[in-house]
Chain A
Amino acid sequence: MTDIFSILIVDDEASVRDSLYSWFIEDGYEVVCAENAKIALEILESRNFDIILADIKMPGMDGLEMHRRIKALNKDAIVIIMTAFASVDTAVRALKDGAYDYVTKPFDPDDLSHLIRNATKQLSLQAENESLKEKAVYLENVEDLIGNSEAMQKVLKEVANVAQSSSSVIITGESGTGKELIARAIHSNSSRKFFPIVSVHCGALSESLLESELFGHEKGAFTGAMFNRKGRFEMADGGTIFLDEIATISTKMQIELLRVLESKSFMRVGGNKEISSDFRVICATNRDLKKLVENGTFREDLYYRLNVVNIIVPPLRERFEDIPPLVDHFIKKYCTAMSRDVIPIDPAAIKRLQEFEFPGNVRELENMIERAIVIGNGKEIRLKDLPLGKDMIDNTVESLDDLEKKHVLQILIKYDWNISRAAKALKVDRVTLYNKIKKHDLKPKS
Chain B
Amino acid sequence: MNKQYITIISYGHFERDFLTKIAESVFHEYGYTVVIEENHLDMTEYYDPSRRQYDGNKLLTEINAHCQAEAIKTVGLFSVDLFIPILTYIFGQAFLHGRSGIASVYRLRNELYGMQQNNELLLARFVKVVLHELGHNFGLKHCHSPGCVMLSSTYVEDIDQKNAGLCPQCRIEIGDSILSV
Picked from B31, B84, B85, B152, the residue with its CB within 8 Å of the CB of A113 is B152
Indicate if the CB atoms of B93 and A28 lie closer than 8 Å. Answer: no
Indicate if the CB atoms of B85 and A13 lie closer than 8 Å. Answer: yes
Asked whether B115 is an interface residue with its Cβ less than 8 Å from the other chain, the reply is yes
Asked whether A3 is an interface residue with its Cβ less than 8 Å from the other chain, the reply is no
CB nearest neighbor in A for B144: A196
Indicate if the CB atoms of A107 and B86 lie closer than 8 Å. Answer: yes
Interface residues of B in 125-181 (CB under 8 A from A): 136, 141-142, 144-146, 152, 154-158, 160-161, 171, 175, 178-179
Asked whether A215 is an interface residue with its Cβ less than 8 Å from the other chain, the reply is no
Number of residue pairs spanning A and B whose beta carbons lie under 8 angstroms apart: 95
Asked whether B89 is an interface residue with its Cβ less than 8 Å from the other chain, the reply is yes
A199 to B148 CA separation, bound complex (whole angstroms) = 13
Given A106-B85, A196-B144, check contact A226 B179 (CB 8 Å): no
Interface membership of chain A positions 418-446, coded 1 if the CB is closer than 8 angstroms to chain B and 0 otherwise = 11100000000111001100100000000
CB nearest neighbor in B for A200: B146
Indicate if the CB atoms of B141 and A27 lie closer than 8 Å. Answer: yes
CB nearest neighbor in B for A84: B85
Most B CB contacts (10 A, CB to CB) among A110, A227, A419 go to: A227
Indicate if the CB atoms of B88 and A19 lie closer than 8 Å. Answer: no
Indicate if the CB atoms of A106 and B86 lie closer than 8 Å. Answer: yes
Given A23-B87, A435-B171, check contact A229 B31 (CB 8 Å): no
How many of chain A's residues have a CB under 8 angstroms from any CB in B?
40
Indicate if the CB atoms of B87 and A107 lie closer than 8 Å. Answer: yes
A431 to B113 CA separation, bound complex (whole angstroms) = 39
Indicate if the CB atoms of A232 and B175 lie closer than 8 Å. Answer: no
Asked whether A355 is an interface residue with its Cβ less than 8 Å from the other chain, the reply is no
A36 to B179 CA separation, bound complex (whole angstroms) = 41
Indicate if the CB atoms of A26 and B142 lie closer than 8 Å. Answer: yes
CB nearest neighbor in B for A226: B115
Picked from B86, B95, B144, B175, the residue with its CB within 8 Å of the CB of A20 is B86
Picked from B83, B96, B146, B161, the residue with its CB within 8 Å of the CB of A196 is B146
Picked from A23, A26, A199, the residue with its CB within 8 Å of the CB of B86 is A23
Asked whether A109 is an interface residue with its Cβ less than 8 Å from the other chain, the reply is yes
Asked whether B79 is an interface residue with its Cβ less than 8 Å from the other chain, the reply is no
Picked from A22, A106, A235, the residue with its CB within 8 Å of the CB of B96 is A22
Indicate if the CB atoms of A235 and B146 lie closer than 8 Å. Answer: yes
Indicate if the CB atoms of B142 and A232 lie closer than 8 Å. Answer: no
Chain B residues lying within 8 Å of A429, measured Cβ to Cβ, are: 179
Indicate if the CB atoms of A19 and B85 lie closer than 8 Å. Answer: yes
Shortest distance from the beta carbon of B125 to any chain A beta carbon, whole Å: 11
Indicate if the CB atoms of A229 and B160 lie closer than 8 Å. Answer: yes
Chain B residues lying within 8 Å of A108, measured Cβ to Cβ, are: 87-88, 154
Shortest distance from the beta carbon of A48 to any chain B beta carbon, whole Å: 22
Indicate if the CB atoms of A195 and B86 lie closer than 8 Å. Answer: no
A195 to B160 CA separation, bound complex (whole angstroms) = 21
CB nearest neighbor in A for B159: A227
Name A's interface SS.
helix
Asked whether A15 is an interface residue with its Cβ less than 8 Å from the other chain, the reply is yes
CB nearest neighbor in A for B118: A226
Chain A residues lying within 8 Å of B84, measured Cβ to Cβ, are: 15, 19, 22-23
Interface residues of B in 73-94 (CB under 8 A from A): 83-90, 93
Asked whether A146 is an interface residue with its Cβ less than 8 Å from the other chain, the reply is no
Asked whether A92 is an interface residue with its Cβ less than 8 Å from the other chain, the reply is no
Asked whether B52 is an interface residue with its Cβ less than 8 Å from the other chain, the reply is no
A25 to B110 CA separation, bound complex (whole angstroms) = 30
Asked whether B39 is an interface residue with its Cβ less than 8 Å from the other chain, the reply is no
Most B CB contacts (10 A, CB to CB) among A108, A195, A418 go to: A108
Chain B residues lying within 8 Å of A232, measured Cβ to Cβ, are: 146
A199 to B145 CA separation, bound complex (whole angstroms) = 10
Indicate if the CB atoms of A107 and B31 lie closer than 8 Å. Answer: no
A39 to B90 CA separation, bound complex (whole angstroms) = 30
Chain A residues lying within 8 Å of B1, measured Cβ to Cβ, are: 418-420
CB nearest neighbor in A for B175: A431
Chain A residues lying within 8 Å of B157, measured Cβ to Cβ, are: 227-230
Indicate if the CB atoms of B87 and A106 lie closer than 8 Å. Answer: yes
Chain A residues lying within 8 Å of B178, measured Cβ to Cβ, are: 431
Asked whether B2 is an interface residue with its Cβ less than 8 Å from the other chain, the reply is yes
Asked whether B28 is an interface residue with its Cβ less than 8 Å from the other chain, the reply is yes
Indicate if the CB atoms of B141 and A26 lie closer than 8 Å. Answer: yes
Indicate if the CB atoms of B86 and A112 lie closer than 8 Å. Answer: yes
Chain A residues lying within 8 Å of B90, measured Cβ to Cβ, are: 109
Indicate if the CB atoms of B160 and A26 lie closer than 8 Å. Answer: no
Picked from A28, A107, A199, A438, the residue with its CB within 8 Å of the CB of B88 is A107
- Contacts A/B (CB < 8 Å), 10 sampled: A18-B57, A19-B85, A23-B86, A26-B152, A105-B86, A106-B86, A113-B152, A230-B157, A232-B146, A420-B2
Closest A-B pairs by Cβ, 8 of them: A434-B31, A227-B157, A110-B154, A109-B154, A196-B144, A19-B84, A28-B141, A19-B86
